[in-house]
Every structure is written in C-alpha cells, then in structure tokens.
Amino acid sequence: MVVITYGFFTLILSLSILSLSTIIRHRPSVVKTPCPQSHPLIGNLIGFLRNRHRFHDWVTDMLTTTPTLTLQVNGFLGLSHGICTADPTNLQHILRSNFHNYIKGSRYATVLQELIGTGIFSSDGSIWFNQRKIASHEFNTKSLRIFISGTVRSQVSKSLIPHLLSAGETIDLQQVLRKFSFDNICNVAFGIDPCLLSSNSKDSKVSKNLLFVQAFDAAVEHTSNRFMSPLPVVWKLKRFLNIGNERKYKEAIETVNRFAMDVIESKERRIGYGDNEDLLSRFMASSWDLGFEDEERRKFLRDIIISFILAGKDSTSTALTWFFWLLDGHPHCKHLIHKEFTMLMTSSHHLHPLNLTFEDLRNLNYLHAALSESMRLFPPVPINSRLTVDDDILPDGTRVRKGWFADYSAYAMGRMERLWGSDCREFKPERWLDDNGVFQPLDQYKYPVFHGGFRMCLGKEMAYLQMKLLVVAVMHEFEIEVVGGGGTPEKMVAPPYSLSLLLSMKDGLHVRVKKRQQINTVNVANMF
C-alpha cells in the first residue's frame, strides 16, 4: 500500500512538473521593451519636441530599430506610460483576442467628452455595444447603401464638378475635397446639405449651416490639439478656469449642440412623413425600444450622429488628397486608372462614370488597389490608441501595465520592411493584385487603415464607393496637375503632413485643373 501511494505521488509530481514546463514553454516570455530617446524625469519629451514636425516618421524610425516592432513610451515626470507597436500579432491581441482589456477609456473620453459625449468612438461597454449594434444593422442594409450612393452621385454632379469647372487658375484641392466631404456626411447623417461648395452665404438657412460647420471645424481642431499636447495638465487647467482657447472651444460646442438638437427636434416633428433615409432618422427609429426618456434619447442621438460626422468629415477627403498627390508623381498609375474606367464604361455602354453600377465599381480592381496602396502609405488616421484595464503580456513578450496606453501606428506599419518587403516605401498598386489583375485584400491587422477586430470601421465599403465615384468622375472630366509636382519617390521621403488627428497635408494641395478633351468612347478600345 505504501509502495502504491509513493508511486502515485511520484506520478502526480512528474505530471505536474511536465504540465508546468509546458505552460512556461508556451507562455510568451517577458522581454525588456526598448524605450528609444528617453531620459530621466522628462521621458520622451525632448525627442517629441525635436521631431514634432515629422512625428509619424520619427515613430516609424524608432519602431524599425526594435526587435519586435514595439517600443515603450515614457511621459513627462512619469505621469504617463505606454507602448507603441507595429506588430500585426500584437494588434490582433489588442483589438480582438484580449479586446476587453484594451478600451478607449479616460484618455479618449476626457479629450472628446464635450464634442461626442458617449458616442460610439469614445465609449466602451454596454453604451458602445448598443450603438455598435444599431449602427451595424443600418450599415448592412441595402437601402442605406443606395441612399449614400445617390447622395454622392448627386453632389458630385451638382456641386463638385461645377465648382471645379468654375475654378480659377489654381485651387487648393484639399480644401475643396474637405468641403465636399462635409456636405456629403451632413447629407448622410442629418439629411441636411450645408452647401459649402455651392452656397450663397447670404441665404439665412445656409448661414445657419455655415455657423455649424465653422464651429465643428474649430471643435475638431481643438480636440486634435488636446490629443497632441505633451502636457495635458495645461489644457485641463485652462478648461477649469474657462480661459483662452478652452473658452472658445466651449462656445463652439454650444453652437454644435444647438444645431444638432434643432435638427433632432425637427426630425421628431416629421416622423411618419417618409423622409427617413438619413442616419439620424434610422437611429431614431431604432432607439425607441432602448428605454430612454425624451431628453436622454436626444442626447444619445446627438452623440452618435456627431460621432459619425467626426469620423466621416475629413477621412475620405484626406485619403483622396494624398491619392491625387501620389498620382501626379506616378503618371503610369494615373494612365492605368483612366484606361480601366474608360474601358469599363465602353463595355457597359455607360456614357458617364456616375452611371456606373455597384458591380461596375467593384470591377475597378486597379483603382481599388491604387486607393488601398495610397492609404497604406498615408492612412487618414495615422495612429490610434487604447487604455489597458489590467496588466498584460503581448504575444511578442512586451509587458503592459494596468493604466498604460497601447498605441498602434498604421503609418509606421505601412513602412515596415518586415511586413511589406524592401519596396515598402514605394507606391506600387500592383502589390494588391493577383496574376489576373484581381484585387486581393490583406489581413486587417497588417493593414489597420480601417482599424480591426470588434471596432472595425462600419463605413469601409461606403468609403471605397464614395472615393471611386469621385475619382472616376473627376478624372473623366479633368486633368489634375499638382503645382510644383506631386508625390514622386523623392518627395515621399519627407511627406508634407501636419500633426493632427488626421494626416492632413500641410499647406494644402494646390493644383491646376484642366478640362479633359473627351474622346468618343466607341473607339476608345483601339487606343490601348
């Protein structure tokens, strides 16, 4: 009996040691994460100030030198700590595998509280889940896709093209695209057209819309400055004292709130009249069963709609600005895009690109590849962030402490040789095409331009649709020539961006717009 007991004990001990060694062997080892350009007390502050004008390239340079494409960040006086990664495996862990441990948290809520409240892009938990559920349902409906498509087509033909036709010798295309995208997102979100590209500012209705636009622009710029501030305590103190730019921000928010609530109350009075295609009307219909009181429901609607305006306001215009800049520096790509949609118009017997169907647009493989490649190098949202709920170890062995921020840089990821090869800094749409010239999507964690995981951008397909329609319509009518030359390989080494939430082009994109000489599409196939 003693022998049996001793043998049993020995067996259990052996199995325990074997199990423990297996766990240790498969558990990611904790590694010492490098923290380049960090100094005692001041952390990374000096490096940030020296490289503020090229912040994203500075981050890229540092990440490139690290063993696992991950680095540690130390804040001033140790007030904040975090990591920044360009590793797709880490990204999948943060955005999906351990999703609940990486939240938007106070870092987003504090900065964006006044502008979007508890909207979908700053909230977590049940508040986020309810908004995401409603939005996901609506974005997957055919009727919304048709509504957005019709809105884009109408604005391109009635607003953008006439504006470009009447443009002077040179124009700032970035500013034109921003106005267009704001008109478009307000139509989609509110069912209201601010008419930035085609307005008579003396019209009282247009004047009211313009006040909202100006206030919204001011608010977005201010929140961007908050995010990029190396010393958040400064703006928080100004907010507490209600002085300086924080006081102006408060006034801008009041204007945004008045406009949004007026629109919501107007929609409530028109329930049942049938004009319910915009997002606000759809969310109103979906929110009746959530148990809100009237004021609470209006606040909910205000936050979610303002959130979508924030997301759609400049994202596509930013992407298209870099796209046209790159095309001017790569004439062969411009030629192939024009050839592709012209051939498609010929084969489908459409006389104008705005008549192309959804299926036609899906068949523009090279254009889709060129847009994706442009956003790989110049993602509209270059860097994103989460807050850690509990201690964690990333798949590459990086230790992340509770309360740390976890950033991921889409800009840096697009420039990583370890991810994209030795030609990673070149603009090559062909990398997205198979041997038959068909577009091949890539892993969302390698290409997080539309984020990834459970917070994957709901408007991704709509964004591609809008960009394709705009590109083919503009390139069909005009030749766009960048003043001083576009994004050649030499100029891509130090791209002219400004530091903000979005990767805006510094000083705009000044172009000459020339009416394209149209060729009979019946014989166009013989040209190639």
Residue ranges of the annotated binding site are 457
Beta sheet of 171-172, edge-to-edge order: 171-172, 510-515, 478-482
Name the token pair of 53: 């004008």
Separation CA 148–CA 127 (nearest Å): 26
Torsion region of 34: left, alpha or beta (phi above 0 gives left; psi -120 to 50 gives alpha): beta
Separation CA 124–CA 132 (nearest Å): 10
Separation CA 463–CA 83 (nearest Å): 30
Helix (H) or strand (E) holding 71: strand 70-74
Q: Where are the alpha helices (DSSP H) in 166-271?
A: 173-190, 204-228, 232-241, 244-269
Separation CA 280–CA 283 (nearest Å): 5
Contact 131, 299 (CB under 8 A): no
Contact 485, 38 (CB under 8 A): no
Separation CA 432–CA 412 (nearest Å): 19
Separation CA 422–CA 487 (nearest Å): 19
As annotated, the binding site for heme includes: 457
Residue 510 three-state SS: strand
First-to-last CA distance in the chain? Answer: 91
Residues listed for the chain = 528
Separation CA 269–CA 158 (nearest Å): 29
